[in-house]
Chains A and B, each alone.
Chain A
Amino acid sequence: MAEIRPIIPTDVAYTRTAIVLHWLTLALIATGFTIGMRMVDLPIAPQTLRIYAYHKWIGITVFVVTLARLGWRFAHPVAPPEGLPAWQRHAARASHLSLYVLMLAIPLSGWLFSSASGVQVIYLGLIALPDLVAKDEALAAALKSVHHALNFTLAVLVPLHAGAALKHHFVEHDRVLVRMLPALSGRREEPTR
């Protein structure tokens, strides 16, 4: 059923670092997003203060990891998979670009929101990040909306991104997902080297 495709040349494969950072980012975003959705309903308690802090630490980590990924990506460019229609290449490019923008803008909007709310972010309880803006209730309310809107955008884009990868794998039987999840390759096609 699955047609045999050529082995991916190394210049179109993601490096191990890129792959690890990609899945690390997914884990961080899934955790940070879930905590963020739930923490807002928690009663005021020491545990709640901790959970808010963890949410912020996760967000700042996503920001830093994203900068690292962008740096790595520019240093190790990867060609798009061969044989894709142009519209898919453009759509993938646009969605990847949007994801990178969101992975920077969401933590940044959260950091700004925290600053405007008068709460400094102490990363990992150790590093005091500068307040980006002065305390301002109206600005805090606006930034909260921005933080939410950006997250809802992400909540739409991530399933699209994952859905596209799954469609490539299970419907089109190409190697788009395998590029980022090499563990899958052994089950369907044995690489020859």
Chain B
Amino acid sequence: MKPFRSFVPPLAALLLAASGGALAEGVLIDKSEIRFASKAMGASVEGRFRRWKANVDFRPSDLARSKANLEIELASIDLASEATEAETRRAAWFDTAKFPVATFTSTAIRALGGDRYEIAGTLALKGVAKDIVVPVALRKDAGGNSIAEGQFTLKRLEFKIGEGEWADTSAVADDVVVRVRMVLPPVS
């Protein structure tokens, strides 16, 4: 899979690069991130995905029409070492040869009051689809961009992430905290 940036027309990409970040369907992708954290032998292990696509249309005034869809290229995982990254691409973990992409597709966005929202959607990962709810907080940065930050905890074993000997949660914890930070440009 190619990074989403290659889908952006070159001229637009050039203009956006000059203005400080590539824009991908409503998200300043270079300023945004998808990170995760788990524990191995009790010690925190953190990482992120380098390549993903987003299709976000967020309108607080029209939540029914709003959506937040993500496509994550799992092989683009960024961990402490290349050896660990290679391990997580194997069949026991993400099996990226068979399941290269994880998707999140929003089904409903609900206002919780103030700058807080709740995005319900389906997370499809390694052939397993589960409905999840992600609480999101929205704020503005100095440049007028909106920053949406959400966090949820998934159980890796529910998605068969780390099978066989790796299913042992005394070595690697079941809980994985996923943190998503999307920077959205001002809507014109």
Contact = CB atoms under 8 A, between A and B. Distances in A.
Contacts of A120: 43-44
Which range holds the interface residue count of chain B? Answer: 10 to 19
Q: How large is the interface on A (under 10, 10 to 19, 20 to 34, 35 or more residues)?
A: 10 to 19
Nearest to B166: A46
A45 B170 CA distance: 12
Contact of A44 (B44, B45, B87, B170): B87
B97 interface: no
A117 B80 contact: yes
Contacts of B131: none
B25 interface: no
Nearest to A117: B80
Interface class of chain B by DSSP: mixed
Contact of B42 (A44, A46, A118, A122): A122
Nearest to A140: B80
B36 to A, nearest CB: 14
A130 B84 CA distance: 23
B168 interface: yes
Contact of B40 (A47, A49, A121, A128): A49
B83 interface: yes
Contacts of B83: 44
Contact of A46 (B43, B44, B46, B168): B168
B172 interface: yes
18 contacts: A44-B83, A46-B166, A46-B171, A46-B172, A49-B171, A49-B172, A52-B41, A117-B80, A119-B43, A119-B80, A120-B44, A121-B43, A122-B42, A122-B43, A125-B41, A126-B42, A128-B42, A135-B80
